[in-house]
Amino acid sequence: MSQRSIDPAGEQAIDWMVRLSAGNPGEKLQHEFNQWLSSDPAHAHAWNRLQERLGGACRTVRALDRRVPGQAGEARQLLLQGNHSRRDVLRSFAAVGLLGGGLWLGARSQLGETLLADLRTAKGERRHFTLADGSRLSLNANSAVDLQFDTQQRLLVLHQGELVIQVAPDPQRPLRVRTAQGEVRALGTRFLVSQQAESTRVVVLEHAVRARLYNGAEQDIQEGQAALLHAQRIEALGNSELHRADWLSGRLNVLDDSLEAVVDAMRPYYRGFVRVDPAVRALRVQGVFPLDEPQRAFAALAETLPLRVDHYSPWLTLIGAK
């Protein structure tokens, strides 16, 4: 069943809720909100409908931010993204609201899985681990992995984010990485796996892997090659993806990506929210950007592209056409 899209007034109401709940709104922001609210009856209707459906959800997010700093930011960030992610988070917020504004996230929710993961990184944090079998695991910022290692298997479950793993040999227990779209089985190798919104990116840095979807489709990916795992198909990406692992050195190396993809790659390093105007999301970008200095990266984008970057607070950055 296809999901129903949110009408423009509803989209704007969601954005205003996020902006007003990001901290203590200043007088200017409150005035702008009041103007928006009174400028069209549809705006007031959408705002009232949103308040009725979510109740105290944003108050819950603020309370969560005090208890578990950074996790509420993840929810707000998703709210500022496209329709699909926004609907997902709204459903999660509604579920929280039904519990009276409690902080229980549920072990099966994305935020709950992140909080309860065996290994995780925060915003702006990269970490390296040596696993029990001797494999070396690196996690990009804002990533979460569960480990299922026993006498029968070596399984990593990537809930969100991105990893690079150098696999220790063990013929009896091939190492596998599971994502939302399928599994990647190591064939004695070093490789990258990134959980994206609706697909999994796999880049083989050494040797080879075997990718398998939940529908049974399989494909071997050789050293230097890459693929996207979709729900029903595996898309080969060729031999130009090795730069995707440059985050290990704190760099975002962009050969030819959309502005939207570049900003998405910077989000795990930016502690506020970034929204990109739909009119400029498809702009093509090339360059090398410092992951640990996202403000500098945004400024560099504005210098090389017809963009305007506006910072409304430490929590909110808007990128639009100049």
- pLDDT for the residue 28: 81
DSSP category for residue 106: -
Residue 45 lies in a domain: yes
CA 253/CA 243 separation, integer angstroms: 6
Same domain, 255 and 233: no
**% of residues, the chain, pLDDT over 90:** 54
* pLDDT tens string 228-274: 999 999 999 977 899 999 999 999 999 999 999 999 999 999 988 89
Residue 192's CATH number: 2.60.120.1440
Residue 1 lies in a domain: no
Find the domain containing 57 and state its range: 8-115
Same domain, 216 and 281: no
CA 231/CA 13 separation, integer angstroms: 32
Last residue of a domain, one of 242, 274, 295: 242
Same domain, 152 and 43: no
Residue 311 lies in a domain: yes
Last residue of a domain, one of 115, 147, 177: 115
21: pLDDT strictly greater than 70: no
Same domain, 145 and 254: no
Same domain, 107 and 131: no
CA 244/CA 194 separation, integer angstroms: 10
Same domain, 61 and 85: yes
Same domain, 198 and 264: no
Same domain, 210 and 254: no
Residue 2 lies in a domain: no
Same domain, 306 and 224: no
- pLDDT for the residue 267: 93
- pLDDT for the residue 115: 60
Residue 259's CATH number: 3.55.50.30
- pLDDT for the residue 212: 96
* pLDDT tens string 297-313: 999 999 999 999 998 87
Same domain, 136 and 230: yes
Q: State the DSSP string of 55-86.
A: TTHHHHHHHHHHHSTTHHHHHHHHHTS-HHHH
* pLDDT tens string 166-212: 999 998 999 999 999 999 999 878 999 999 989 999 999 999 999 99
**286 or 48, higher pLDDT:** 286
Residue 3 lies in a domain: no
Same domain, 52 and 100: yes
Last residue of a domain, one of 215, 242, 269: 242
Same domain, 164 and 270: no
CA 73/CA 50 separation, integer angstroms: 20
> What does DSSP say about strands 182-186 and 175-178: parallel, antiparallel, or unpaired?
antiparallel
Domain count for the chain: 3
